Amino acid sequence: MNLDTTTLLAILAMAAVTYVTRIAGLLVADRLALTGRAKAAFDAIPPAVLVAVIAPTALTTGWAEAIAAAITAVVAFRLPLLATVAVGVVAVVLLRGVL
Amino acid sequence: MEQVNPFKASPMREARAGLRDIAPAAIAAIPIGLLFGAVAVTKGLSPAEVALMSFLVFAGGAQFAAIESWVSPAPILALAFGTFLINVRHVLMGASLAPKIRLSRAEKFIAFFFMTDESWALSERRAIERPVTGIYWAAMAAILFTNWVVSTTLGAVLGSFLGDPARFGADFAFTALFIGLVAGFGRSRITLVTVGVSAAVAALVHHFIGAPWHVASGALAGIAAAYVTAGPEARA
């Protein structure tokens, strides 16, 4: 059980920054009454963020990851979430073995 | 008409729905948590420090980014800024979810400590059909939080015994999970354009500039694309 002081401070700083980002939305949400294009842009936040997080892994790591991502995307519209994850993981293992 | 709520939310049913919805994400997070802990100890963190970070920060993407570039002594300001860049999406996520979740304002300040991409995305999806209750949120938060703290700490303790996670595809679980979550937002024209633009810009920025800039730039490009695509057909 050893805690380095600088590491502890770094962890506390990361925790504080993260908590502020999590509650900041509560402070601005009341002032957001969106319609039309602005609403379309706001509604696009979820898929836009999720895709941006994974795009490098899915698209630029290699052919195995890119093809596995495409297969996952196709089955994602037909299977439940856990089955989708399973298909993706199995696909990437098989493709890495082949490619 | 909007005052009438056709969904009688029984606490048990809400808790069970939360557990059922979060189960795939929780299972997918276990190998990722083990991986995080195992990598963190190779960078010089103790299992106690790994446990504390997961407990207080509770943000996988930011923790992975921090550990990837971890040096000793820890560069506090650089780590704080990197964490901000990766987690600034929470501001938009929180603003979007805040009016849809049935909690008092004070409760939301506690509840949102536990906001993750997964629990937020599932709540947004649920909000399309019915109100998001505090019990639904709490069930997901309890599972994900416990799961993350335990799996990362276990990974740190087990350390090098785990071997290379890429060997059994565990490193791809996060990507596959997110693809599944994105599919839940449907295939409308605006969504498809958003996804395409966000993916292209994020991949290009990651390649030419590097992490963590791809998250903010890709997301903003996708949001801008939705704004442009909605265009004249979107009426207030």
For chain B, domain boundaries = 11-185, 186-236
Identify the weakest region by mean pLDDT among B7-21, B49-63, B195-209. Answer: B7-21
B83 with A72: Cβ contact below 8 A: no
**pTM value > 0.80:** no
| A to B CB pairs, distance under 8 Å | 310
Q: Do residues B38 and B148 touch, judged by C-beta distance below 8 A?
A: no
- Which residues in chain B touch residue A53, judged by CB atoms under 8 angstroms apart? 61, 117, 178, 202, 215
CB distance from B87 to chain A under 8 Å? yes
- What is the least distance, in Å, from the CA of B172 to any CA of chain A? 6
Q: Which pLDDT does position A2 carry in this prediction?
A: 72
Q: Is the ipTM of this complex over 0.85?
A: no
pLDDT tens digits, one per residue of B97-114: 999 999 999 999 999 999
Residue A15 has pLDDT above 80, yes or no: yes
- B-facing residues of A in 27-86 (CB < 8 A) are 28-29, 32, 35-60, 65, 68-69, 72-73, 76-77, 80-82, 84-85
Smallest Cβ distance to A53: which of B49, B61, B115? B61
pLDDT in tens, B143-171: 999 999 999 999 999 976 666 656 677 77
